[in-house]
Amino acid sequence: MVVEVVMPKMGESITEGTILEWRKEIGDPIEMDEILLEIGTDKVDSEIPSANAGILVEILAEPNEVVEVGKVIARIETDSDSAVVKKQEKKPVVESSSKEVVEPDSKKEIVKEEAVVSAPPSIIREQTDKKETSGKRFFTPVVKAIARKEGIRLEELNIISGSGINGRVTKRDLLAYLANKIPETVDSTTSSKMYVESKLIDERVEMNHMRKLIADHMRISLDTSAHVFVMTEVDMTHIVNYVQENGKQFKEDEGFSLTYTPFIVSAVVRALQNYPDMNSSIEETTIVHKKNINIGMAVAVDAGLMVPVIPRCEELNFLGLCRKVRDLAARARSKKIKPDELSGSTFSISNFGIFNVTIGTPIINQPNVGILGVGTIKKKPVVIETPQGDTIGIRSIMMLSLGFDHRLIDGAGGSRFIESVQQNLENIDLEHLF
């Protein structure tokens, strides 16, 4: 029986998705829950598992094609005994290693990819040079990532014969090519000449789907909000000492490490309760004060950046914040986050301190009017004021930077808010956290 694979609904507000990459090709067997393809939306890229086991017999949407939710994008034959690979329209001519031209036919055995890529690179180049090329070849993000890692330039990537649809180079094609690649022996003069020539060639790589979304969102934010920044230092010594003393027990109890992020989120939530304008958005000339405090956390992932949202933070205790922070960050990095969990923030936090950065000026996450930048914690000599006089001590200091929309928040309001976050951190009641 042939079952249809439709574009899944990725969230309440999602009406379409972009085909990023097919993980299976026509004729490939697939198990239930095995990854079939990767889809991108305006919020997140997601790996889509197959709901059925069988053989992929038809692909109806090409990479980079935008497809509406519910539209058929592929078909799977669930009865493996009767599964027949369907002939595709405009199927390219496949050139075997023996230079015999074979036109694919449903009655003939499918040409295996090994027949093309098992030959030495010199033969591959010879064959490729004889092939007619037309238009710009498409390479999936996975193929381009492997090529960059292995030092394969675009010129060399273009000569690799592909076993995918319309001659597309698959991951397996590239890995097989690398496994059979024979290093060329050249003299010093030739090597020097090749080095000079390679310096003159610029590599042009198309942005992946997530990078394009980030670029659009950041440009829109800069065009929309009047960005202003204020900064301050926070003495984190008592929190650092607390984490060092109680971190081991916390991990044994909860199964994950206690980090500084929940402390920062807790301090921000308390500050937002006292300064509701910072928990607002602007719709033309209307100020919308948000009922709940939904904190967006910027999370670095392999392909770029995601901002998963902790909803209704004002209802969570400290342990609840710890668990939410851990859960969202882990699922964002493993591509298991849901699109609806990436929207609805009322204020955002960007913690670039995990990359040992001291301070930064993050761009506001629309439609928020504020974003907090968190720097790394470093030990510094500071002046400590006491009733007995001033002394110098070593303290763990963290820099905070607040970006806010000057259309709504003035300098005084921004300064009072970041001071409130500072005070909440420095005066947190550590004895009654849990």
Catalytic residue from among 28, 410, 429, 432:
410
363 neighbors 218 (Cβ within 8 angstroms) = yes
**Cα–Cα distance measured from residue 160 to residue 143, given in angstroms and rounded to the nearest whole number:** 12
Output the CA torsion sign for 64, 66, 69, 70. negative
Q: Residue 384 half-sphere exposure, CB side, CA atoms within 13 Å?
A: 13
406 among known catalytic residues:
yes
Beta bridge partners of 3: 76
Please state, in angstroms and rounded to a whole number, the distance separating the CA atoms of residues 132 and 101: 13
Active site residue 277: no
* Helices 318-333, 261-274: inter-axial angle, 10-degree rounding: 120
Of the candidates 45, 129, 406, 432, the residue annotated as catalytic is: 406
Which residue has tokens 């675009």? Answer: 154
CB contact at 8 A, 418 and 402: yes
Distance CA 399, CA 357 (A): 10
**Tokens linked to 431:** 């004895």
Instruction: List the alpha helices (DSSP H) in 255-389.
Output: 261-274, 318-333
Q: What share of the chain is helix, strand, coil (3-state, %, to 5)?
A: 35, 25, 40
CA dist 246 and 250 (Å) reads: 6
The residues annotated with a catalytic role in the active site are 406, 410
